[in-house]
Amino acid sequence: MEAMVSRLFFRFQGLPVLLEEEEGFLSLLGFAEAEGREATPLLSRWKAEVEEYLSGLRKSFDLPYRLPGSAFAQRVYAATLDVPYGQTASYASLLGRNFARPVGTALAKNPLALVIPCHRIVGANDPYLYRYGPEIKKRLLDLERNHR
């Protein structure tokens, strides 16, 4: 039996934000155009927290989420959470130089942008490489620098 997924799409300060809830947990937070206006109580609360974050009023999230991934991906996500708000780290420094490429691969699959702040991880050759595009990554990094 397939789990029911609720989806909420909204724009905030020009950014397209997509949220998905599955089985009472946030399962997706991304920046993409999509259909969806199912404002469940949980998605409404997540929307409020995302808007606070994008306004510089919040630095982390308090609501339930589910983060799938391999054991390696979970290590990458945990290390990413250790990078403080308003700061950056390199792919090579996250788990060691030999893991820079696998770290990048894991973060490219991160389904919870902002919750797992992969925008804080920068490449040596392209600091704005990001699943959702360089403009959004630059905007998020600037937001955090201005609200430390």
Catalogue the active-site residues.
Answer: 118
Q: What angle is formed at CA 14 by the lines to CA 106 and CA 4, rounded to 5 degrees?
A: 55
Tokens of 137: 């990554």
How far is the C-alpha of 66 from the C-alpha of 46, rounded, in Å? 13
How far is the C-alpha of 30 from the C-alpha of 13, rounded, in Å? 15
Question: Given the DSSP bridges, would you call strands 89-90 and 121-122 parallel, antiparallel or unpaired?
Answer: parallel
For residue 89, the cross-strand partners are 121
Alpha helices in the chain (DSSP H): 41-54, 71-81, 91-95, 100-108, 134-146
For tokens 């950056």, the residue is 88
Size of the chain, expressed as the number of residues it contains: 148
